[in-house]
Structure 1
Amino acid sequence: MKNLKIKNAALSVCAVLMSVTALSAVSPADAKTALKLSHFAAETHPGHIAAKQFKERVEARTNGEVEIQLYPSSELGSPPEQLEQTVLGIIDMNLPTQGALDKYEKAFGTVMTPFAFGSYEQAHQVLDGPFMDWAAPKLEEKGLVMLSNWEYGFRNVTNSVRPINTPEDLAGLKLRTPPELQIVAALEAAGAQTTQIAFPELPGALTAGVVDGQENPIGVIYHYKMYELQENLALTRHVYNSMVHVMNKKKWDSLTPEEQTIIREESVSAGNLMRELVQQQEADELAKIKAAGVNVTEPDLEKFKEQMGPAYERVSEYSGEENMKKFLSFIGK
């Protein structure tokens, strides 16, 4: 009996050792880091198409060790809520605009200075170069790692009252804007009245006549079918902004150097894809908007720029004068 007990005990120990050995053998293969990426773009928008490429390539290059879980169309809350959750580590990655990031680091408030950029090429060179070198370390102090710049576009005005060709045509129009001070300052300097309405409520507000119009990049106007609710589109290009791929710093620090390299490289690649898609699609989307019967005008932007003095002062005060001086040096002003 005693020998039997010893034998059974030995077998039990062997079984435990075999289980531990088996577990250790499969654990590395089974180990997986799941990262939540949340954003506000529609599933048909280039922003989500780029996010899907990011997911696929990261998962492929890490052999499934890193899984990217996508949450488009503000599934996890409004854009400000998503960014706050990213700072807190509830969401791992986010794609806010500079107008959201400037609530945490004022340097980002300078990017949306009215008429700061004359082209996509200029914006990309500045944001990927001197601006990122300057602003990314500042953002890390706030708990966010800046991975890369993606795209959103130049913003334009739609309305249901009259065509816009000069700042005088904006006078008295009530336009919905997001809460970003830079956009509000630009339109008010040009003579419009502004009000803030949550984006999901915007179509209803336009239909009911609560506001005369709104402003957004061409892609947003097209994908959310705002052109079906507005008779006039003016290519004012009054503010440029883009999605910025950011990640919670603590989560970033928990990754291996190899994973960090892959994530940063694929973030840049996805951002480049979004840039290409936005620019390629804008011409096609604009043609379809015109074909739908919308009156599209191309105002003389110099006349609008002449009105921007008060807006520049408001943006400088908000972002900080030293930050504004630094940013202006990047764009040669």
Structure 2
Amino acid sequence: MEVNRRALLLGGAALAAPVLIGRPAAAATTLKLAHLAAESHPGHKAALQMKEAVERRSEGALKIEIFPANQLGAPPEQLEQTKLGVIDMNLPTQGALDKYEKAFATVMAPFIFKDRAHVFAVLDGPFAAWTAPLLEKQGLVQLASWDYGFRNITNSRRPIMTPDDVKGLRIRTPPEVQLVACIEALGARATQIAFTELPSALNQGVVDGQENPVSVIWHMKLHETQPHLALTRHAYNSLVHVINRRRWQSLSASQQEILREESTRAAQAMRRLDEEEEASDLSRIEAAGVKITKPDLAPFRAQMEPAYKRVASYAGEDNMKRMLKIVQDAAA
């Protein structure tokens, strides 16, 4: 009787064992990341680095699915979808973010930064501390400021060496007050065309030129119909890594730490790649037949007073004063 009972117990254990062994592991969490950069752009390369590191460090518990080159809609649509939680993460510029929080409008005020080091001292420090709580109220968590670069003017009409050379040109800009104000202060006519339609508009002569960072000009092949590139570096903007707040709150503390740390590392990688590649991009653009000019920027800056007033009116006088103080302190 005892033997039979033991046999039953052992048999029951044997039957139970496969159930325990075959129990499915917890499903991985997949985060959708949409961005505007081409697949060859440093921004996408940085996103791939982050994806690999997050998946490795989380042992597969966190996965990232990347949708580059505006696959999920134009930049404003991507950001709106991220706020709504349809997309988990996005890399908008400050120009997109300022539609929801005006403090971001101050970053793209023309000619306020000396160089890249000055930019990063501002954006990584006091500016991030100022704006992160503001974004949370909008349903977004700010993880890190990546890079995009200083913006420059291309056109099909003439080389640009002085502000007078810009007068009368039809220049495409995004629908962002700072860039429109800057271009119009130089006497050009700013025209808004969707980024996805820009190559066609340049090819058809709808506008004479456009303004973007060097990396965008190269990777989006905008130089192919633009024989003149002026390194005006008139405004800076970066891609800001944001995640939907509800999605962020659904992650564990350790997953949040991994994601924030790897976003910061991706930002550093993109900055390094952007700086390294700009020289080679310029060489390739020049080799393609584009005439590159390096104008003295002092006369351009001297014409910006109307632009500063327009930016302050849009961003808020107090926001503009606060940003200029941060910029001045970081330059000291």
User: TM-score range, shorter-chain basis?
Assistant: over 0.9
- Poorly superposed stretches of 4+, deviation over 6 Å: 13-20
Hey, what's the Cα distance between the residues in 2 that align with 1:144 and 1:220?
Answer: 26
Matched residue, 1:291: 287
1:100-249 correspondence runs (5 A):
100-249=96-245
Structure 2 gaps of 5+ residues are 1-11
Inter-partner Cα distance in structure 1 for 2:259 and 2:129: 19
Deviation at 1:26, TM superposition (A): 2.7
Alpha-carbon distance in 1 for matches of 2:81, 2:116? 30
Q: Distance in 2 between matches of 1:18 and 1:85?
A: 46
TM-score where L is the length of structure 1: 0.92
| Partner amino acid, structure 2, of 1:118 | K
Distance of 2:143 and 2:61 partners within structure 1: 20
Q: Residue 124 of structure 2 aligns to a residue in which SS?
A: helix
TM-score by length of 2: 0.93
Q: Which residue of 2 aligns with 1:53?
A: 49
Task: Tell me by how many angstroms 1:77 deviates.
Answer: 0.6
Name the SS for the 1:236 alignment partner: coil
Distance (Å, rounded) in 2 between the aligned partners of 1:148 and 1:312: 27
Distance change >3 Å, CA 128–CA 314, structure 1 → 2:
same
Per the alignment, do residues 15 and 198 of structure 1 end up closer, same or farther by CA in structure 2, a change over 3 Å counting? farther
Secondary structure of the 1:156 match is: strand
Aligned position for 1:10:
none
Aligned to 1:27: 25
**Counterpart Cα distance in 2 of 1:202 and 1:254:** 38
Correspondence 1:263-278 to 2 at 5 A:
263-278=259-274
In percent, how many aligned pairs have the same letter?
A: 58
Spell out, residue by residue over 1:111-145, the C-alpha distance to the aligned partner (whole angstroms, 9 max, x if none): 00101111011001100000001110111111000
Shift of 1:15: 11
Alignment gaps of 5+ in structure 1? 1-12
Aligned positions, number: 319
TM-fit CA distance, 1:17? 7.5
Distance 1:38 1:319 in 2: 26
Alignment of 1:85 with 2:77, yes or no, is: no
Separation in structure 1 between the aligned mates of residue 14 and residue 223 of structure 2, nearest angstrom: 69
CA distance in 2, matches of 1:21, 1:108: 53
Matched residues in 2 for 1:124 and 1:184: separation?
A: 24
Equivalents in 2 of 1:322, 1:133: separation in Å?
16
